[in-house]
Chain A
Amino acid sequence: MKPKYIFLIVLLIWQLSESSCKKLIEVSPPSTAVTGNAVFSSDATAIATLTGIYATISTSSTATAGSIPSLSLYPGLSSDELTLWSNSGNLQGTAYYQNALTSGLSGYGSDYWSGFYPIIFSCNAAIEGLKKGTGFTPSIQQQLLGEAYFMRAYCYFYLVNLYGDLPLALTSDYAVNSKLSRTSSSQVFKQIVSDFQQAVSLLSTTYFDGTLLKSSVERVRPTKWAAEAMLARAYLYTGNWSGAQAQADLLLNNNSLFALSSLDSTFLRAGLGNKEAIWQLQPVNAGSNTEDAKAFIMDSSYGPGGGGNFGAYLSSALLDSFELGDNRRFNQHWIDSVNFQSTIYYFPIKYKVYLPVPDPSDVTEYLMMLRLGETYLIRAEAKARQGDLSGAATDLNAIRARAGLSGTSETTQPGLIKAILHERQVELFTEMGQRWLDLKRTGSIDAVMGVVTPQKSNGASWNSYQQLYPVYYLDIQSDPNLKQNLGY
């Protein structure tokens, strides 16, 4: 062979060999996706990741256990708040309702575990991306970081209340997370408080629109105010009464932004002048107001379980706990009823619109995530626990007055605390599982459920371990360091 040809061939093969091959096989990401690095290098895409979290939460149905909107339903079924229609045939609903959750492949109860950890992953990825990324407008970067800390802590708050000790995933690295063991509840609460504190320091006081530059009349992104409201709640749950009071003060002193609304306006969207809203979620399903309305409101022609209704209605325990003259119970403000096949069913109408509306601009109600009514009750309890009985009564009476009730007659500390906890039951029913969480944090759960559970489950008895839901079975299988809750 002539050297010329050998040279040419060597040249040809070299041309196609590794160094140039690398270029040849490189591909850009598909036009249907963006890489993680690209996402966290511009304001718009970074905003879209947090917005994606809110949209995903908002699109999920209240009837689907494990979604954030469903916190209003399933923990309510577990408590003394809701009754499951006897013919519902819903195995999952029945398991929550009869406190008969079980571990195992076909068991129920780990839905919030499997529903919330993916949100926590998104928050962790966002925190890492926002810290590492460049090219952001500083104020936007700060706001988004605050939102990510806020959402992570929000999810952990519910997880720790529903499941107890938790694997605390604070990174997006699966190699680390897949081997986590459970951190004690108190440590998890410390992390939650720390995250909310971070969020308070990072988040803006302005309610922004989707650009995070212009303000908005709607309150659908977490702000400093939302972080303070959650921090107040976290302090309340950890017995930090002064902290809870201080955070509540910040909100309740801001009269220009926040005020109690009338009963029928409490769940309207902030854009319609509802100053009670601290944080809401914008509905994203076509023709829909809130998913809660669809799950709870009964149509007189279908009754329970028909026409989109989940088949759960208010328990007599709850109905009986209202005082006479309470407008939340009577006069169709927050509770209504239907007579279906000679039975009267009572159901919440905090959200009133359950039928489709033709256009998104016709939507009047947004899902209420945090509202000032709760803040009043947090401060009332914090004050009462610290001995400021008159201050506590003032806050409590603000809520009672709106419901058309006279001021509280309680004057002792235990009496006031009891009154405040009762007020929480009748004020916050079917809202984000508050009742179930209150029963647990106040230690009254065994007493209450010991009576209610046998009624709900044909005589089966209540066991104290049932105040925690079972941990996700498959996670126990795949994480060698993870143990199931005792009793399951």
Chain B
Amino acid sequence: MEISILGRGLPCHVRKARYHPTKASSILLAMKLTAFLFLAACLQVSAKGYSQKVSFSGKNVSINAVFASIEKQTGLSFFFNYALIKDVKPVTLDVRDVSLEEALNVVLGEVGLDFYKTGKTIFIVRKSIAIGNASSAGVAGPPQYNIKGRVVNHLGESLPSATVVVRNGKKSVFTNEKGEFELKGIAAGSILDFTYLGYEKKTIAANNADFMVVELTLASNQLDEAQVIAYGQTTQRLSTSNITMVRGKDIETQPVNNPLLSLEGRVPGLFITQNNGLPGSAVGVLIQGKNSLNYGTDPLYVIDGVPYPSATLPSTNLGPLGTVYGSYGIGTPLSFINTADIESIEVLKDADATAIYGSRAANGAILITTKRGKAGKTKASFNLQNGWGAITRKLPLLNTQQYLEMRHEAFRNDGLRPRPSNYDINGAWDTTRYTDWQKVLIGGTAQYTNVSGSVSGGNTNTQYLFGGTYHRETPVFPGHFSDIKASMHFNIDAVSSNQKFKMQLTGSYLVDNNKLPIQDLTGTAITLPPDAPKLYNPDGTMNWQLTPSGSETWLNPLSYLYKKYQSKTYNLIGNSNLSYSILPGLDLRANLGYNSLRINEFASTSMLANSPSNQFAYGINGRNSQFTYSTIDSWIIEPQVTYAAILGDGKLDALAGATLQQNSSDGVQLNGIGYSSDALLGDIYSAATILASPTVHSIYNYAAVFARLNYLFKERYVINLAARRDGSSRFGSANQFHNFYSIGAAWIFRQEQENPGNFKFLSLGKIRGSYGTTGSDQIGDYQYMNLYQSVAVDVPYQGITGLAATGLPNPYLQWEETQKLQLGIELGFLKNRIFFQADIVDNHSSNQLDGLILPLITGFNYVTINKPAKIRNREIELSLRMLNIQKKEFTWSTNINFTLPQNKLLSYPGQIPGYLVVGQPLTITKAFHFMGTDPSTGLYQFQDSKGNPTQSPSFSTDNTTLINAGFPKYYGGFQNVVRYKRFQLDFLLQFVKKIAANYGFGARVPGRPINQPVYILNRWQKPGDIAAIQRFSSNLSLADSYSNAASYSDAAYSDGSYIRLKNIALSFELPDRALRLIHFQGMKIYLQGQNLFVITKYKGMDPETGSSALPPLKILTAGLQMDF
């Protein structure tokens, strides 16, 4: 018996004796007894581990030095027989911030020693050598154990399919569905690594054959946290992909209506633009640039595994969500997702991450994961938030005096006198009036209210979460408008008692009642003359400022109040994820999802929305209403099989599966014209004339098989292969199927525990790269079919509804293909407190779905074809996260991200459309070169082909410059989180460097009856004047000159860069003492601000939304969060 002779180490003697059959039996009983006690101690060790964290780095140092260092770091003392270590060779150790136990296991395991800890003392003992029951006694060689154990999480729940690897022993197993494992014939002193995705790795030395319970703790560092990917999970450490994760807690701090808006400035490679500041308005999303000439560039949205539509039905919408009123853009269904339900959003960018989504992910993918319940005490949370919003900037506009000066000068310049219809200056209006229309029409205060609550809990077999949210926002316009959302969300996770069958059920239902105005009043607010009449008559009715003959002199902007709009949206998402474990490592899964998005819209024009003369002219036809009913239903079935195995020195994960998906879209729009009363506008039956718009009815079927292989070798090398074969109903039978594939690899050349070699200064070093193909089928349904549609006329010809071809069919349409090559490097410094990540992106898109321009002699002017035009998107994405200060009471962390995009049209065979230039970005604009105002005539001049000024430039002959106002030069975000005691301050600055179309030439021809920004006062007045603005004119004679300058010249574009305080949040958590008093588990009081200020040189309302749309509102809220 190799009992170490340690004075006070008695329990140990006895413990080891139990496993030594050659020892005297006299002390057997005592040994058994103490063995039991020690086992209990060991279990405790395993269960909790030592709380102290230690670090050590040294090459060929004496073991004594290691002990000394640990004593210093932990305050513990070592106790050992010196003889035990005198022959020990120098050791090499490099650990950072690991548990004491792990550090000692590593260093002592190498030299055949062991330890145990009692109180504040660590005892060093010789490694016990036992003969396992599988090895026969007397055989020479190192003793061996048969080791059994169980791997559990911090809640005591077993972790099935956790990996147990015997270091250097080339042996590893998975835990079974109960989390148990068995390792046979393990050499004494072997070191076991326990890993499970999303948990911190644990290292334990195999000292005996006792049943060990190994508790893994949830990874708290970003590197080892679970990260959702397509059909699975990974960690940043082991990922081969370019993925950015945004956590629910970063989304929670932002008072936004659409979760996409919370990603602005946080994700390198993702550029988001808001169309305007109205809730629910369209949001543009581009991941790694524009890949497609003409068709969709939307990423694939996946919510808990169910694909989600990226656009509402375009042809049937009316209001803020639709296309009929241009400034709003197509609605985004993402605003029907409740931000409070979101656990995390992953943005998948490269082929490695997205090729397994095949044809749908050429533009990247955005995965949204909702919150789930956790086992433990039932927890109830309640969150109440209330706030206010307003516009951030106003345009400096002419006051009445300046306006009148402009008008009179314009008439003088034209040699004209005001006509009877020039009410603004001919006396019909009170020219002493001044109204700041921006203040009146868009200067209101928006209300923001968000109330949410949830209950969660469960036991080890079943967990649940149930939550609800009420959200209300109002616009800044006058009148009673609002957008109200109410939603419910639940999920249940259950596992059978034999742990083999698992089920995740998720459901959410959201109802949105949008009653926002049908028009954005910003355009009116900045163009209405400042001397325009008052809105109301003394009797409270709308003032039309009638002439003596009874006709109105202006369009009262309040008439929009009599145009009602309402859209009711019902969004149901249901998803179940079932899995059955056939064998450890082999699981069968099925993902079943359903989504139903139903939007009912109603828009009406009351009689009072018409001016008095129109009321007279239209009669009952002055009242009309539109009813739109649209639904998008989709379901998906994805059976999968996953297999995990230990193969050689590595771990293999394999996935195979199939997808069946169907989306069906239906839309109907009815228009009622002519009602006898405003009260009947909601009843289509009451209309004098009912007209139907073309209906939408389309089905998209999609089926695919896919597979992925992931191999992790020696915890250092990762290779990831994915392939998918896709079939889409959007293509003709010749090209219905297409293959997509990707290969990704990563090399972790520096891990914390390992030999640092030349990379001592790093705590993590990783290089990864990937190449693969993805596709896009975003061309709309039925494009390849030869279809005939009804020719709708009022009176059918001979009583028959005719049929006509809808277009030229092209049965050979195929997928657009994007090849993505990306290289990334990830570096951690100072125990990963500084973490740097860089990606180089080189994506090539080809086989562009495009309209081939045809001569009309073919019957139509285009046919959709695949054009071998090539588009390249190159990008550098950088991100840096720093834990600047980490003290108990004070932490400060910083995240910075930066993206440098470059988009280029590489080639375009055949006749190139005028808006494209080979070698330039797709978003290029051709513009005349502006040469200022001609001092002699006061008209704008442009450079002609010879460089001389001309007043009537032509795009076909004269000089043009290329301007890229469509996409930023670079963009990024700068986020800081500072926590002091119970206070936390979080703020995000978003920065964008770009060129934007400006408002520098005013709104239409200066001098017309339209208000203008003050800078147009710098105008030409007399020959010889050098002025920025052409001479004022009261009519349209200078309209061409104006539009050449304001719309088509390079002077119409200028710096639109901006820095926006996207988000700021300050919170205070109540101390435990106070919580105990009120019996709360937690309480947080917070203030949140969105878009509080913007720094820009831009001439116009806002550089993001453009010169005349409602800019993103600044919103300031206060809230209270309570956990019971």
Contacts and interface: CB of A to CB of B under 8 A. Distances in A.
Contacts of B24: none
Contacts of B582: 5
Contact of B800 (A36, A113, A174, A210): A210
Contacts of A26: 701, 729
At the interface, is chain A mostly helix, strand, loop or mixed? Answer: helix
B568 to A, nearest CB: 24
Nearest to A52: B802
A218 B799 CA distance: 13
A218 B798 CA distance: 9
Contacts of B858: 117, 121, 169, 174, 177-178
A21 B736 CA distance: 10
Given A36-B788, A45-B803, A24 B727 contact: yes
A209 interface: yes
A410 interface: no
Given A121-B859, A474-B861, A475-B857, A285 B701 contact: no
A221 B798 contact: yes
A34 B857 contact: no
A37 B805 CA distance: 12
Contacts of B727: 18, 21-22, 24-25
B794 A118 contact: no
B703 A177 contact: no
A35 B807 CA distance: 11
A54 B802 contact: yes
Contact of B658 (A13, A50, A117): A13
A172 interface: yes
A282 B859 CA distance: 24
Most chain B beta-carbon neighbours within 10 Å: one of A34, A209, A221: A34
A296 B795 CA distance: 22
Interface stretch (A326-334, A340-348, A450-458, A476-484): A476-484
Given A177-B857, A180-B857, A13 B795 contact: no
Interface in A28-45: 28-37, 39, 45
A380 interface: no
Given A21-B703, A122-B859, A36 B809 contact: yes
Given A174-B859, A284-B793, A22 B809 contact: no
Contact of A55 (B698, B791, B857): B791
Given A1-B643, A113-B856, A49 B788 contact: yes
B694 interface: yes
A172 B804 CA distance: 13
A461 interface: no
A257 interface: no
Interface string B781-814: 1100111111101111111111111101100000
Given A32-B789, A48-B800, A478 B853 contact: yes
Contact of B660 (A24, A209, A282, A286): A24
A30 B789 CA distance: 10
Given A21-B703, A27-B701, A209-B798, A36 B857 contact: no
A240 interface: no
Contact of A39 (B788, B794, B855): B788
B656 A9 contact: yes
B697 A30 contact: yes
A5 B586 contact: yes
Contacts of A54: 797, 802
A220 interface: yes
B803 A52 contact: yes
B725 to A, nearest CB: 7
A17 interface: yes
A180 B859 CA distance: 13
A122 B854 CA distance: 16
A56 interface: yes
Contacts of A59: 793-794
Contacts of A1: 583, 586, 643
B705 A13 contact: yes
B699 interface: yes
Interface residues of B, number: 64
Interface in A312-351: none
B880 interface: no
B965 interface: no
B50 interface: no
A16 interface: yes
B804 A122 contact: yes
B854 A178 contact: yes
Contact of B855 (A27, A34, A218, A472): A472
B695 A48 contact: no
Nearest to B799: A210
Contact of A35 (B583, B639, B785, B801): B785
Chain B at the A interface: mostly helix, strand, loop or mixed? Answer: strand
Contacts of A486: none
Q: Choose among A122, A180, A216 the residue with the greatest number of B CB atoms under 10 Å from its CB.
A: A122
Contacts of A479: 855, 857
Which of B643, B737, B782, B858 counts the most A-chain CB atoms under 10 A from its CB? Answer: B858
Given A18-B725, A54-B802, A482 B855 contact: yes
B911 interface: yes
Interface in A70-115: 113-114
B855 A478 contact: yes
A47 B705 contact: no
Given A27-B701, A474-B861, A284 B796 contact: yes
A32 B697 CA distance: 7
B863 A55 contact: no
Given A26-B729, A27-B701, A33-B788, A53 B857 contact: no
Contact of B699 (A27, A180, A220, A482): A27
Contacts of A47: 800
Interface string B633-677: 000000101010000000000001010100000000000000000
B184 to A, nearest CB: 21
Listed residue (A24, A36, A169, A218) with the most chain B CB atoms within 10 angstroms of its CB: A24
Given A21-B727, A21-B737, A25-B729, A118 B701 contact: no
Contact of A25 (B586, B701, B794, B808): B701
A125 interface: yes
Contacts of B535: none
Contacts of B729: 25-27
A375 interface: no
B789 A18 contact: no
B685 interface: no
A172 B856 CA distance: 12
A37 B800 contact: no
Contacts of A31: 697
Contacts of A2: 583
Nearest to A212: B798
B728 interface: yes
A56 B800 contact: no
B700 interface: yes
A397 interface: no
Contacts of B797: 51, 54-55, 58, 210, 220, 282, 284
Given A27-B700, A478-B855, 6 more contacts: A16-B660, A16-B703, A21-B703, A25-B703, A122-B804, A180-B857
Interface of A: 1-2, 5, 9, 12-13, 16-18, 21-22, 24-37, 39, 45, 47-56, 58-59, 113-114, 117-118, 120-122, 124-125, 167, 169, 172, 174, 177-178, 180, 209-210, 216, 218, 220-221, 282-286, 360, 472, 474-479, 482
17 contacts: A5-B583, A12-B658, A13-B705, A22-B733, A24-B727, A27-B782, A30-B787, A34-B803, A35-B787, A50-B802, A51-B798, A58-B797, A117-B856, A122-B804, A174-B860, A282-B795, A474-B855
Closest 9 CB pairs of A and B: A121-B859, A52-B802, A210-B798, A286-B794, A475-B855, A36-B786, A16-B658, A284-B793, A33-B787
Interface of B: 582-583, 586, 639, 641, 643, 656, 658, 660, 694-705, 725, 727-729, 733, 736-737, 781-782, 785-791, 793-806, 808-809, 853-861, 863, 911
